[in-house]
A and B are shown apart, each in its own frame.
Chain A
Protein backbone atom coordinates (compact mmCIF):
# COMPACT_ATOMS: atom_id res chain seq x y z
CA UNK A 1 0.00 0.00 0.00
CA UNK A 2 1.57 3.34 -0.98
CA UNK A 3 1.86 5.92 1.72
CA UNK A 4 -0.51 8.79 1.02
CA UNK A 5 0.52 12.33 1.83
CA UNK A 6 -2.29 12.71 4.38
CA UNK A 7 -1.07 9.73 6.33
CA UNK A 8 2.49 10.96 6.11
CA UNK A 9 1.50 14.38 7.43
CA UNK A 10 -0.41 12.76 10.29
CA UNK A 11 2.65 10.72 11.19
CA UNK A 12 4.80 13.86 11.11
CA UNK A 13 2.36 15.67 13.35
CA UNK A 14 2.28 12.87 15.93
CA UNK A 15 6.06 12.52 15.78
CA UNK A 16 6.38 16.25 16.43
CA UNK A 17 4.31 16.07 19.60
CA UNK A 18 6.16 12.97 20.79
CA UNK A 19 9.47 14.76 20.21
CA UNK A 20 8.29 17.86 22.06
CA UNK A 21 7.46 15.79 25.13
CA UNK A 22 10.64 13.74 24.83
CA UNK A 23 12.55 17.01 24.89
CA UNK A 24 10.68 18.18 27.98
CA UNK A 25 11.47 14.84 29.65
CA UNK A 26 15.13 15.13 28.71
CA UNK A 27 15.34 18.62 30.19
CA UNK A 28 13.61 17.55 33.40
CA UNK A 29 16.02 14.63 33.76
CA UNK A 30 19.00 16.92 33.16
CA UNK A 31 17.68 19.37 35.75
CA UNK A 32 17.09 16.72 38.41
CA UNK A 33 20.56 15.30 37.84
CA UNK A 34 21.99 18.80 38.25
CA UNK A 35 20.01 19.29 41.43
CA UNK A 36 21.30 16.03 42.92
CA UNK A 37 24.86 16.91 41.99
CA UNK A 38 24.74 20.33 43.64
CA UNK A 39 23.00 18.87 46.71
CA UNK A 40 25.73 16.21 47.02
CA UNK A 41 28.48 18.79 46.48
CA UNK A 42 26.99 21.09 49.11
CA UNK A 43 26.59 18.26 51.62
CA UNK A 44 30.20 17.22 50.99
CA UNK A 45 31.42 20.78 51.45
CA UNK A 46 29.38 21.21 54.63
CA UNK A 47 30.63 17.97 56.18
CA UNK A 48 34.26 18.35 55.29
CA UNK A 49 34.83 22.05 55.54
CA UNK A 50 36.94 23.08 58.53
CA UNK A 51 35.53 26.00 60.50
CA UNK A 52 36.37 29.11 58.59
CA UNK A 53 38.82 31.35 60.38
CA UNK A 54 40.80 34.24 59.04
CA UNK A 55 41.98 37.64 60.10
CA UNK A 56 43.37 40.66 58.42
CA UNK A 57 46.07 42.49 60.36
CA UNK A 58 46.97 46.04 59.39
CA UNK A 59 50.69 46.25 58.64
CA UNK A 60 50.73 49.64 56.93
CA UNK A 61 47.91 52.06 57.52
CA UNK A 62 48.94 54.34 54.62
CA UNK A 63 47.31 57.78 54.79
CA UNK A 64 44.47 56.56 57.06
CA UNK A 65 44.38 56.81 60.84
CA UNK A 66 43.85 53.07 61.44
CA UNK A 67 46.47 51.77 63.85
CA UNK A 68 48.91 49.18 62.49
CA UNK A 69 48.31 45.87 64.22
CA UNK A 70 44.51 46.23 64.23
CA UNK A 71 42.74 42.87 63.77
CA UNK A 72 39.73 42.39 61.51
CA UNK A 73 37.82 39.08 61.54
CA UNK A 74 36.87 37.64 58.16
CA UNK A 75 33.42 36.24 57.51
CA UNK A 76 33.10 33.49 54.83
CA UNK A 77 31.75 36.25 52.57
CA UNK A 78 33.46 39.51 53.38
CA UNK A 79 33.19 42.89 51.75
CA UNK A 80 35.65 45.68 52.52
CA UNK A 81 34.76 49.29 51.86
CA UNK A 82 33.60 52.66 53.05
CA UNK A 83 29.92 51.91 52.50
CA UNK A 84 27.78 51.18 55.57
CA UNK A 85 26.91 47.66 54.41
CA UNK A 86 30.53 46.47 54.28
CA UNK A 87 31.58 43.67 56.59
CA UNK A 88 34.83 45.50 57.28
CA UNK A 89 34.19 49.21 57.42
CA UNK A 90 37.19 51.44 56.67
CA UNK A 91 36.83 55.21 56.97
CA UNK A 92 39.46 56.43 54.55
CA UNK A 93 39.08 58.73 51.57
CA UNK A 94 41.12 56.42 49.36
CA UNK A 95 38.74 53.50 49.94
CA UNK A 96 35.74 53.11 47.64
CA UNK A 97 32.32 52.42 49.10
CA UNK A 98 32.63 48.83 47.87
CA UNK A 99 36.30 48.17 47.53
CA UNK A 100 37.18 44.50 47.88
CA UNK A 101 35.41 41.17 48.18
CA UNK A 102 36.92 38.18 49.98
CA UNK A 103 35.42 34.74 50.27
CA UNK A 104 36.48 31.32 51.45
CA UNK A 105 36.19 28.26 49.29
CA UNK A 106 37.53 24.91 50.45
CA UNK A 107 39.81 26.55 52.98
CA UNK A 108 41.37 29.06 50.59
CA UNK A 109 40.67 32.77 50.73
CA UNK A 110 39.98 34.44 47.41
CA UNK A 111 40.37 38.17 46.93
CA UNK A 112 38.76 40.21 44.19
CA UNK A 113 38.56 43.93 43.60
CA UNK A 114 34.93 45.11 43.65
CA UNK A 115 35.43 47.84 41.06
CA UNK A 116 37.28 50.28 43.33
CA UNK A 117 39.02 53.47 42.28
CA UNK A 118 42.40 52.80 43.91
CA UNK A 119 42.53 49.06 43.33
CA UNK A 120 43.19 45.91 45.34
CA UNK A 121 46.52 44.09 45.22
CA UNK A 122 47.68 40.70 46.47
CA UNK A 123 51.48 40.72 46.91
CA UNK A 124 51.54 43.75 44.59
CA UNK A 125 49.55 41.95 41.89
CA UNK A 126 46.30 43.70 40.91
CA UNK A 127 43.29 41.55 41.82
CA UNK A 128 40.86 42.40 39.03
CA UNK A 129 40.04 38.69 38.86
CA UNK A 130 39.73 36.49 41.96
CA UNK A 131 43.18 35.60 43.30
CA UNK A 132 43.80 32.75 45.75
CA UNK A 133 45.78 33.73 48.83
CA UNK A 134 47.56 31.96 51.66
CA UNK A 135 48.42 32.97 55.19
CA UNK A 136 51.10 35.65 55.28
CA UNK A 137 50.17 37.21 51.95
CA UNK A 138 50.02 40.97 51.82
CA UNK A 139 46.67 42.33 50.66
CA UNK A 140 46.62 45.99 49.74
CA UNK A 141 43.24 47.72 49.79
CA UNK A 142 43.63 51.25 48.42
CA UNK A 143 46.78 52.37 50.25
CA UNK A 144 46.20 50.26 53.36
CA UNK A 145 48.19 47.03 53.56
CA UNK A 146 46.99 43.99 55.44
CA UNK A 147 48.56 40.66 56.26
CA UNK A 148 46.32 37.60 56.02
CA UNK A 149 46.49 35.40 59.10
Chain B
Protein backbone atom coordinates (compact mmCIF):
# COMPACT_ATOMS: atom_id res chain seq x y z
CA UNK B 1 0.00 0.00 0.00
CA UNK B 2 2.80 2.39 0.92
CA UNK B 3 4.68 1.56 -2.23
CA UNK B 4 1.59 2.06 -4.32
CA UNK B 5 0.92 5.51 -2.94
CA UNK B 6 4.55 6.50 -3.39
CA UNK B 7 4.44 5.35 -7.02
CA UNK B 8 1.27 7.28 -7.65
CA UNK B 9 2.75 10.37 -6.05
CA UNK B 10 5.82 10.01 -8.29
CA UNK B 11 3.52 9.72 -11.28
CA UNK B 12 1.51 12.70 -10.13
CA UNK B 13 4.64 14.78 -9.57
CA UNK B 14 4.81 17.87 -11.73
CA UNK B 15 7.73 16.60 -13.80
CA UNK B 16 6.84 18.75 -16.77
CA UNK B 17 6.99 21.90 -14.68
CA UNK B 18 10.25 20.79 -13.08
CA UNK B 19 11.72 20.08 -16.53
CA UNK B 20 10.64 23.48 -17.78
CA UNK B 21 12.26 25.12 -14.76
CA UNK B 22 15.76 23.83 -15.63
CA UNK B 23 16.61 26.22 -18.46
CA UNK B 24 15.19 29.33 -16.73
CA UNK B 25 17.34 28.53 -13.69
CA UNK B 26 20.40 28.19 -15.91
CA UNK B 27 19.56 31.47 -17.62
CA UNK B 28 19.20 33.28 -14.29
CA UNK B 29 22.47 31.90 -12.90
CA UNK B 30 24.27 32.73 -16.12
CA UNK B 31 22.92 36.26 -16.20
CA UNK B 32 23.86 36.84 -12.59
CA UNK B 33 27.41 35.60 -13.26
CA UNK B 34 27.65 37.91 -16.20
CA UNK B 35 26.35 40.83 -14.16
CA UNK B 36 28.90 40.20 -11.39
CA UNK B 37 31.74 39.90 -13.92
CA UNK B 38 30.65 43.06 -15.70
CA UNK B 39 30.57 44.90 -12.39
CA UNK B 40 34.04 43.81 -11.40
CA UNK B 41 35.20 44.76 -14.90
CA UNK B 42 33.77 48.25 -14.49
CA UNK B 43 35.29 48.76 -11.06
CA UNK B 44 38.59 47.41 -12.34
CA UNK B 45 38.94 44.52 -9.90
CA UNK B 46 39.50 42.02 -12.68
CA UNK B 47 42.02 42.77 -15.44
CA UNK B 48 40.53 42.37 -18.89
CA UNK B 49 43.46 40.48 -20.27
CA UNK B 50 43.31 37.23 -18.38
CA UNK B 51 40.65 35.11 -16.86
CA UNK B 52 41.38 32.61 -14.16
CA UNK B 53 39.18 30.71 -11.78
CA UNK B 54 40.28 33.07 -9.02
CA UNK B 55 38.75 36.03 -10.83
CA UNK B 56 35.34 34.41 -11.18
CA UNK B 57 32.69 35.82 -8.87
CA UNK B 58 32.22 33.93 -5.67
CA UNK B 59 29.10 31.99 -4.91
CA UNK B 60 27.97 34.72 -2.51
CA UNK B 61 26.97 36.98 -5.35
CA UNK B 62 24.63 34.31 -6.64
CA UNK B 63 22.69 34.02 -3.37
CA UNK B 64 19.69 36.18 -4.41
CA UNK B 65 19.18 34.12 -7.55
CA UNK B 66 19.68 30.86 -5.65
CA UNK B 67 17.08 32.05 -3.15
CA UNK B 68 14.55 32.69 -5.89
CA UNK B 69 15.31 29.29 -7.41
CA UNK B 70 14.79 27.61 -4.04
CA UNK B 71 11.42 29.33 -3.59
CA UNK B 72 10.26 28.29 -7.07
CA UNK B 73 11.37 24.69 -6.48
CA UNK B 74 9.56 24.65 -3.13
CA UNK B 75 6.40 25.79 -4.89
CA UNK B 76 6.87 23.05 -7.50
CA UNK B 77 7.02 20.42 -4.72
CA UNK B 78 4.12 21.95 -2.79
CA UNK B 79 1.87 22.11 -5.84
CA UNK B 80 2.75 18.51 -6.74
CA UNK B 81 1.12 17.36 -3.52
CA UNK B 82 -1.78 19.78 -3.47
CA UNK B 83 -2.63 20.79 -7.04
CA UNK B 84 -0.95 18.14 -9.22
CA UNK B 85 -3.27 18.62 -12.18
CA UNK B 86 -3.14 22.37 -12.62
CA UNK B 87 -1.33 24.04 -15.50
CA UNK B 88 2.39 23.27 -15.54
CA UNK B 89 3.63 25.76 -18.14
CA UNK B 90 2.67 29.13 -16.70
CA UNK B 91 4.88 29.07 -13.61
CA UNK B 92 8.20 28.48 -15.40
CA UNK B 93 7.38 31.26 -17.89
CA UNK B 94 6.37 33.69 -15.17
CA UNK B 95 9.25 32.63 -12.94
CA UNK B 96 11.77 33.36 -15.68
CA UNK B 97 10.29 36.80 -16.33
CA UNK B 98 10.29 37.68 -12.61
CA UNK B 99 13.85 36.43 -12.30
CA UNK B 100 14.95 38.63 -15.19
CA UNK B 101 13.04 41.48 -13.54
CA UNK B 102 14.94 40.97 -10.28
CA UNK B 103 18.24 40.85 -12.15
CA UNK B 104 17.50 44.02 -14.07
CA UNK B 105 16.54 45.81 -10.84
CA UNK B 106 19.79 44.60 -9.28
CA UNK B 107 21.68 45.79 -12.32
CA UNK B 108 19.97 49.18 -12.65
CA UNK B 109 19.72 50.12 -8.96
CA UNK B 110 23.31 51.23 -8.27
CA UNK B 111 23.53 53.18 -11.55
CA UNK B 112 20.19 54.96 -11.38
CA UNK B 113 20.27 58.67 -12.19
CA UNK B 114 19.96 60.98 -10.35
CA UNK B 115 19.57 58.91 -7.16
CA UNK B 116 21.38 55.56 -7.08
CA UNK B 117 19.48 52.91 -5.18
CA UNK B 118 21.64 49.82 -4.50
CA UNK B 119 18.85 48.09 -2.59
CA UNK B 120 16.49 48.11 -5.60
CA UNK B 121 17.30 44.51 -6.53
CA UNK B 122 16.77 43.06 -3.07
CA UNK B 123 13.51 44.96 -2.71
CA UNK B 124 12.33 43.59 -6.05
CA UNK B 125 13.35 40.08 -4.93
CA UNK B 126 11.36 40.56 -1.74
CA UNK B 127 8.33 41.67 -3.74
CA UNK B 128 8.61 38.66 -6.04
CA UNK B 129 8.71 36.32 -3.04
CA UNK B 130 5.74 38.14 -1.50
CA UNK B 131 4.06 37.87 -4.89
CA UNK B 132 4.62 34.12 -4.93
CA UNK B 133 3.09 33.98 -1.44
CA UNK B 134 0.10 35.97 -2.70
CA UNK B 135 -0.10 33.48 -5.59
CA UNK B 136 -0.22 30.55 -3.16
CA UNK B 137 -2.76 32.31 -0.94
CA UNK B 138 -5.00 32.93 -3.96
CA UNK B 139 -4.62 29.36 -5.18
CA UNK B 140 -5.39 27.83 -1.78
CA UNK B 141 -7.83 30.44 -0.57
CA UNK B 142 -10.11 30.54 -3.61
CA UNK B 143 -11.99 27.40 -2.62
CA UNK B 144 -15.14 28.42 -4.38
CA UNK B 145 -15.21 30.39 -7.62
CA UNK B 146 -18.78 31.40 -6.79
CA UNK B 147 -17.48 33.80 -4.17
CA UNK B 148 -16.12 35.85 -7.01
CA UNK B 149 -19.27 35.55 -9.05
CA UNK B 150 -21.82 36.14 -6.32
CA UNK B 151 -20.26 39.18 -4.69
CA UNK B 152 -19.55 40.98 -7.94
CA UNK B 153 -20.93 44.32 -6.81
CA UNK B 154 -18.87 44.05 -3.63
CA UNK B 155 -15.68 43.61 -5.67
CA UNK B 156 -16.63 46.46 -7.93
CA UNK B 157 -17.29 48.65 -4.90
CA UNK B 158 -13.93 47.68 -3.38
CA UNK B 159 -12.15 48.73 -6.55
CA UNK B 160 -13.97 52.04 -6.78
CA UNK B 161 -13.36 52.81 -3.08
CA UNK B 162 -9.66 52.03 -3.45
CA UNK B 163 -9.32 54.39 -6.33
CA UNK B 164 -11.55 56.98 -4.73
CA UNK B 165 -9.19 57.14 -1.76
CA UNK B 166 -6.25 57.64 -4.09
CA UNK B 167 -8.09 60.26 -6.04
CA UNK B 168 -8.83 62.24 -2.87
CA UNK B 169 -5.26 61.73 -1.81
CA UNK B 170 -3.71 62.82 -5.09
CA UNK B 171 -5.91 65.89 -5.46
CA UNK B 172 -4.25 67.26 -2.36
CA UNK B 173 -0.84 66.47 -3.81
CA UNK B 174 0.77 68.10 -6.77
CA UNK B 175 -0.95 67.21 -10.03
CA UNK B 176 2.19 67.76 -12.04
CA UNK B 177 4.18 64.90 -10.55
CA UNK B 178 4.65 62.01 -13.00
CA UNK B 179 2.42 59.44 -11.28
CA UNK B 180 -0.59 60.32 -9.18
CA UNK B 181 -2.03 56.90 -8.81
CA UNK B 182 -0.24 56.14 -5.58
CA UNK B 183 -1.22 55.47 -2.03
CA UNK B 184 1.37 55.88 0.67
CA UNK B 185 0.74 53.76 3.72
CA UNK B 186 3.77 54.04 5.99
CA UNK B 187 6.79 52.82 4.06
CA UNK B 188 4.63 51.17 1.39
CA UNK B 189 3.93 52.85 -1.87
CA UNK B 190 0.89 51.14 -3.32
CA UNK B 191 -0.80 51.53 -6.67
CA UNK B 192 -4.47 50.68 -6.13
CA UNK B 193 -5.14 50.63 -9.86
CA UNK B 194 -3.32 47.30 -10.05
CA UNK B 195 -6.00 45.75 -7.87
CA UNK B 196 -8.76 47.71 -9.58
CA UNK B 197 -8.02 45.88 -12.87
CA UNK B 198 -8.62 42.52 -11.22
CA UNK B 199 -11.81 43.68 -9.49
CA UNK B 200 -13.11 45.13 -12.75
CA UNK B 201 -12.44 41.92 -14.67
CA UNK B 202 -14.22 39.86 -11.99
CA UNK B 203 -17.18 42.23 -12.15
CA UNK B 204 -17.36 42.22 -15.95
CA UNK B 205 -17.02 38.42 -16.09
CA UNK B 206 -19.75 37.86 -13.49
CA UNK B 207 -22.07 40.43 -15.02
CA UNK B 208 -21.62 39.33 -18.63
CA UNK B 209 -21.94 35.63 -17.81
CA UNK B 210 -25.27 36.24 -16.10
CA UNK B 211 -26.64 38.43 -18.84
CA UNK B 212 -25.00 36.70 -21.75
CA UNK B 213 -28.22 35.92 -23.63
CA UNK B 214 -29.58 39.42 -23.30
CA UNK B 215 -26.28 41.13 -24.11
CA UNK B 216 -25.74 39.10 -27.25
CA UNK B 217 -29.38 39.49 -28.26
CA UNK B 218 -29.06 43.18 -29.05
CA UNK B 219 -32.57 44.56 -29.43
CA UNK B 220 -31.89 48.28 -29.17
CA UNK B 221 -31.22 49.72 -32.58
CA UNK B 222 -29.28 52.89 -33.24
CA UNK B 223 -28.78 53.20 -36.94
CA UNK B 224 -26.92 50.13 -38.18
CA UNK B 225 -25.75 49.25 -34.66
CA UNK B 226 -27.69 46.90 -32.43
CA UNK B 227 -27.11 47.52 -28.77
CA UNK B 228 -28.17 45.50 -25.76
CA UNK B 229 -31.02 47.02 -23.76
CA UNK B 230 -30.10 49.85 -21.44
CA UNK B 231 -31.14 47.95 -18.33
CA UNK B 232 -28.43 45.36 -19.01
CA UNK B 233 -25.92 47.80 -20.38
CA UNK B 234 -26.36 50.27 -17.52
CA UNK B 235 -24.24 48.69 -14.77
CA UNK B 236 -21.47 47.91 -17.26
CA UNK B 237 -21.41 51.41 -18.66
CA UNK B 238 -21.57 52.84 -15.15
CA UNK B 239 -18.56 50.84 -13.95
CA UNK B 240 -16.63 51.65 -17.08
CA UNK B 241 -17.49 55.32 -16.90
CA UNK B 242 -16.54 55.54 -13.22
CA UNK B 243 -13.22 53.83 -13.77
CA UNK B 244 -12.40 56.01 -16.77
CA UNK B 245 -13.44 59.21 -15.00
CA UNK B 246 -11.28 58.38 -12.02
CA UNK B 247 -8.30 57.98 -14.25
CA UNK B 248 -8.92 61.00 -16.36
CA UNK B 249 -9.22 62.80 -13.02
CA UNK B 250 -5.76 61.68 -11.95
CA UNK B 251 -4.45 61.99 -15.52
CA UNK B 252 -3.52 58.36 -15.86
CA UNK B 253 -3.97 57.96 -19.57
CA UNK B 254 -2.45 54.51 -19.80
CA UNK B 255 -4.79 53.05 -17.22
CA UNK B 256 -7.81 54.51 -18.95
CA UNK B 257 -6.59 52.88 -22.16
CA UNK B 258 -6.01 49.56 -20.37
CA UNK B 259 -9.44 49.53 -18.72
CA UNK B 260 -11.16 50.38 -21.97
CA UNK B 261 -9.18 47.66 -23.74
CA UNK B 262 -10.19 45.08 -21.14
CA UNK B 263 -13.81 46.16 -21.47
CA UNK B 264 -13.68 45.79 -25.26
CA UNK B 265 -12.03 42.38 -25.07
CA UNK B 266 -14.55 41.09 -22.56
CA UNK B 267 -17.65 42.42 -24.27
CA UNK B 268 -16.44 40.78 -27.49
CA UNK B 269 -15.70 37.49 -25.72
CA UNK B 270 -19.04 37.60 -23.93
CA UNK B 271 -21.23 38.43 -26.89
CA UNK B 272 -19.17 37.25 -29.86
CA UNK B 273 -20.34 40.31 -31.79
CA UNK B 274 -17.81 42.33 -33.73
CA UNK B 275 -20.33 45.19 -34.08
CA UNK B 276 -19.99 46.00 -30.36
CA UNK B 277 -16.25 46.23 -30.75
CA UNK B 278 -16.51 48.52 -33.75
CA UNK B 279 -19.09 50.65 -31.96
CA UNK B 280 -16.97 50.92 -28.83
CA UNK B 281 -13.90 51.73 -30.89
CA UNK B 282 -15.77 54.58 -32.57
CA UNK B 283 -16.82 55.90 -29.16
CA UNK B 284 -13.21 55.57 -28.07
CA UNK B 285 -11.99 57.59 -31.05
CA UNK B 286 -14.49 60.33 -30.25
CA UNK B 287 -13.46 60.33 -26.58
CA UNK B 288 -9.82 60.34 -27.61
CA UNK B 289 -10.37 63.32 -29.86
CA UNK B 290 -12.17 65.20 -27.08
CA UNK B 291 -9.30 64.38 -24.73
CA UNK B 292 -6.83 65.54 -27.34
CA UNK B 293 -8.48 68.92 -27.75
CA UNK B 294 -9.16 69.43 -24.03
CA UNK B 295 -5.95 68.36 -22.31
CA UNK B 296 -2.60 69.81 -23.20
CA UNK B 297 -0.70 66.87 -21.71
CA UNK B 298 -2.44 64.48 -24.12
CA UNK B 299 -1.38 66.70 -27.03
CA UNK B 300 2.18 66.72 -25.70
CA UNK B 301 2.21 62.92 -25.57
CA UNK B 302 1.00 62.65 -29.15
CA UNK B 303 3.49 65.23 -30.34
CA UNK B 304 6.29 63.01 -29.03
CA UNK B 305 5.07 60.10 -31.16
CA UNK B 306 5.50 62.29 -34.22
CA UNK B 307 9.08 63.24 -33.34
CA UNK B 308 11.46 62.75 -36.27
CA UNK B 309 14.43 60.87 -34.85
CA UNK B 310 16.28 60.11 -38.06
CA UNK B 311 16.07 63.49 -39.76
CA UNK B 312 16.43 65.38 -36.44
CA UNK B 313 14.92 68.70 -37.48
CA UNK B 314 14.75 71.80 -35.32
CA UNK B 315 11.24 70.71 -34.36
CA UNK B 316 12.63 67.44 -32.97
CA UNK B 317 15.28 69.36 -31.07
CA UNK B 318 12.64 71.64 -29.53
CA UNK B 319 10.53 68.65 -28.47
CA UNK B 320 13.60 66.90 -27.14
CA UNK B 321 14.62 69.87 -25.01
CA UNK B 322 11.15 70.62 -23.68
CA UNK B 323 10.63 69.43 -20.13
CA UNK B 324 8.28 66.45 -20.11
CA UNK B 325 8.85 66.20 -23.84
CA UNK B 326 10.69 63.69 -25.97
CA UNK B 327 13.86 63.24 -23.91
CA UNK B 328 12.77 59.98 -22.31
CA UNK B 329 11.55 58.38 -25.54
CA UNK B 330 14.55 59.48 -27.59
CA UNK B 331 17.00 58.23 -24.97
CA UNK B 332 15.06 54.95 -24.94
CA UNK B 333 15.40 54.63 -28.70
CA UNK B 334 19.11 55.38 -28.48
CA UNK B 335 19.43 52.66 -25.85
CA UNK B 336 17.63 50.19 -28.12
CA UNK B 337 19.88 51.14 -31.03
CA UNK B 338 22.94 50.77 -28.84
CA UNK B 339 21.88 47.21 -28.02
CA UNK B 340 21.94 46.02 -31.61
CA UNK B 341 21.15 42.41 -32.36
CA UNK B 342 22.75 40.53 -29.50
CA UNK B 343 22.94 43.38 -27.01
CA UNK B 344 25.77 44.79 -24.96
CA UNK B 345 25.43 42.14 -22.27
CA UNK B 346 23.96 42.59 -18.81
CA UNK B 347 25.77 45.31 -16.90
CA UNK B 348 27.73 46.53 -19.91
CA UNK B 349 25.31 49.00 -21.45
CA UNK B 350 24.24 52.46 -20.29
CA UNK B 351 20.48 52.10 -19.92
CA UNK B 352 20.23 54.48 -16.97
CA UNK B 353 20.36 57.59 -19.16
CA UNK B 354 16.68 56.89 -19.77
CA UNK B 355 14.51 58.45 -17.05
CA UNK B 356 12.42 55.98 -14.97
CA UNK B 357 14.16 53.10 -16.68
CA UNK B 358 13.47 50.71 -13.79
CA UNK B 359 9.70 50.71 -14.23
CA UNK B 360 8.10 52.29 -17.28
CA UNK B 361 11.08 52.07 -19.61
CA UNK B 362 12.43 48.65 -18.55
CA UNK B 363 11.82 47.41 -22.08
CA UNK B 364 14.53 49.70 -23.44
CA UNK B 365 17.00 48.53 -20.78
CA UNK B 366 16.30 44.93 -21.76
CA UNK B 367 16.66 45.88 -25.41
CA UNK B 368 20.02 47.48 -24.80
CA UNK B 369 21.51 44.68 -22.74
CA UNK B 370 19.90 41.60 -24.30
CA UNK B 371 19.59 42.99 -27.81
CA UNK B 372 16.93 42.45 -30.45
CA UNK B 373 17.28 38.69 -30.10
CA UNK B 374 16.64 38.91 -26.36
CA UNK B 375 13.63 41.19 -26.85
CA UNK B 376 12.09 38.78 -29.33
CA UNK B 377 12.58 35.95 -26.84
CA UNK B 378 10.89 38.02 -24.10
CA UNK B 379 7.98 38.88 -26.37
CA UNK B 380 7.82 35.16 -27.18
CA UNK B 381 7.52 34.40 -23.47
CA UNK B 382 4.65 36.88 -23.18
CA UNK B 383 2.94 35.32 -26.18
CA UNK B 384 3.20 31.88 -24.60
CA UNK B 385 1.81 33.17 -21.28
CA UNK B 386 -1.11 34.76 -23.12
CA UNK B 387 -1.68 31.66 -25.24
CA UNK B 388 -1.72 29.51 -22.13
CA UNK B 389 -4.14 31.86 -20.37
CA UNK B 390 -6.61 31.75 -23.25
CA UNK B 391 -6.19 27.98 -23.39
CA UNK B 392 -7.22 27.76 -19.73
CA UNK B 393 -10.16 29.98 -20.63
CA UNK B 394 -11.26 27.75 -23.53
CA UNK B 395 -11.16 24.64 -21.38
CA UNK B 396 -12.93 26.18 -18.38
CA UNK B 397 -16.26 24.69 -17.43
CA UNK B 398 -18.72 27.56 -17.51
CA UNK B 399 -19.06 30.98 -19.04
CA UNK B 400 -18.09 32.82 -15.86
CA UNK B 401 -14.79 30.95 -15.51
CA UNK B 402 -14.14 31.29 -19.23
CA UNK B 403 -14.74 35.03 -19.22
CA UNK B 404 -12.73 35.47 -16.03
CA UNK B 405 -9.69 33.59 -17.34
CA UNK B 406 -9.85 35.31 -20.72
CA UNK B 407 -10.29 38.73 -19.14
CA UNK B 408 -7.39 38.26 -16.75
CA UNK B 409 -5.18 37.08 -19.60
CA UNK B 410 -6.26 40.09 -21.63
CA UNK B 411 -4.87 42.31 -18.86
CA UNK B 412 -1.39 40.90 -19.55
CA UNK B 413 -1.85 41.13 -23.30
CA UNK B 414 -3.10 44.71 -23.41
CA UNK B 415 -0.67 45.94 -20.79
CA UNK B 416 2.33 44.46 -22.61
CA UNK B 417 1.10 45.84 -25.92
CA UNK B 418 0.53 49.37 -24.61
CA UNK B 419 3.80 49.74 -22.74
CA UNK B 420 6.11 48.09 -25.28
CA UNK B 421 4.69 50.09 -28.15
CA UNK B 422 4.90 53.17 -25.95
CA UNK B 423 8.58 52.49 -25.34
CA UNK B 424 9.18 52.11 -29.06
CA UNK B 425 7.40 55.35 -30.01
CA UNK B 426 4.50 53.63 -31.72
CA UNK B 427 1.86 54.74 -29.21
CA UNK B 428 2.03 57.69 -26.80
CA UNK B 429 4.09 56.65 -23.79
CA UNK B 430 1.98 56.00 -20.72
CA UNK B 431 3.10 54.96 -17.29
CA UNK B 432 1.94 51.40 -16.89
CA UNK B 433 4.28 48.60 -15.83
CA UNK B 434 5.44 45.77 -18.04
CA UNK B 435 4.03 42.67 -16.31
CA UNK B 436 6.58 40.84 -14.10
CA UNK B 437 9.58 42.78 -15.45
CA UNK B 438 9.04 46.32 -14.22
CA UNK B 439 10.12 47.32 -10.76
CA UNK B 440 7.14 47.81 -8.48
CA UNK B 441 5.52 45.92 -5.65
CA UNK B 442 1.79 46.34 -6.32
CA UNK B 443 2.17 45.36 -9.93
CA UNK B 444 4.00 42.15 -9.03
CA UNK B 445 1.50 41.26 -6.31
CA UNK B 446 -1.45 41.87 -8.63
CA UNK B 447 0.12 39.85 -11.45
CA UNK B 448 0.77 36.90 -9.18
CA UNK B 449 -2.79 37.05 -7.88
CA UNK B 450 -3.93 36.83 -11.51
CA UNK B 451 -1.70 33.79 -12.07
CA UNK B 452 -3.16 32.27 -8.90
CA UNK B 453 -6.73 32.68 -10.18
CA UNK B 454 -5.76 31.26 -13.59
CA UNK B 455 -4.15 28.18 -12.03
CA UNK B 456 -7.17 27.69 -9.77
CA UNK B 457 -9.48 27.71 -12.80
CA UNK B 458 -7.14 25.27 -14.55
CA UNK B 459 -7.21 23.03 -11.47
CA UNK B 460 -11.02 23.07 -11.31
CA UNK B 461 -11.25 22.16 -14.99
CA UNK B 462 -8.80 19.29 -14.60
CA UNK B 463 -10.61 17.98 -11.53
CA UNK B 464 -13.86 17.99 -13.39
CA UNK B 465 -12.33 16.22 -16.37
CA UNK B 466 -11.04 13.51 -14.07
CA UNK B 467 -14.44 13.46 -12.44
CA UNK B 468 -12.84 13.58 -9.04
CA UNK B 469 -12.03 16.10 -6.39
Identify the A interface with B (CB < 8 A): 2-6, 8-10, 12-17, 19-24, 26-28, 30-31, 34, 38, 77, 85, 98, 103, 105-106, 108, 110, 112, 114-115, 129-130, 132
Contacts and interface: CB of A to CB of B under 8 A. Distances in A.
Nearest to A105: B467
Interface string B30-68: 110110011001000011111100010000000000000
Contact of A13 (B147, B342, B378, B381): B342
A26 B23 contact: yes
B384 A31 contact: yes
Given A23-B24, A106-B467, A115-B150, A5 B51 contact: yes
Interface of B: 16, 19-20, 23-24, 26-27, 30-31, 33-34, 37-38, 41, 46-51, 55, 88-89, 92-93, 96, 144, 146-147, 150, 210, 342-343, 345, 348, 370-371, 373-374, 377-378, 380-381, 384, 387-388, 391, 395, 397-398, 463-469
25 contacts: A3-B51, A4-B51, A5-B46, A5-B47, A6-B48, A9-B37, A12-B37, A13-B34, A13-B342, A17-B371, A17-B374, A17-B377, A19-B23, A20-B373, A20-B378, A22-B23, A23-B23, A23-B377, A26-B23, A27-B384, A34-B89, A85-B210, A103-B464, A105-B465, A130-B469
Contacts of B381: 24
Closest 9 CB pairs of A and B: A105-B467, A20-B377, A23-B23, A115-B146, A129-B469, A130-B469, A13-B345, A12-B34, A17-B373
A98 B206 CA distance: 14
B464 A130 contact: yes
Given A105-B464, A129-B469, A130-B463, A4 B34 contact: no
Contact of B48 (A5, A38, A85, A129): A5
Task: Give the one of A4, A13, A114, A129 with max B CB within 10 A.
Answer: A13
A46 B384 CA distance: 29
Nearest to B31: A16
A19 B26 contact: yes
Given A20-B377, A24-B381, A8 B342 contact: no
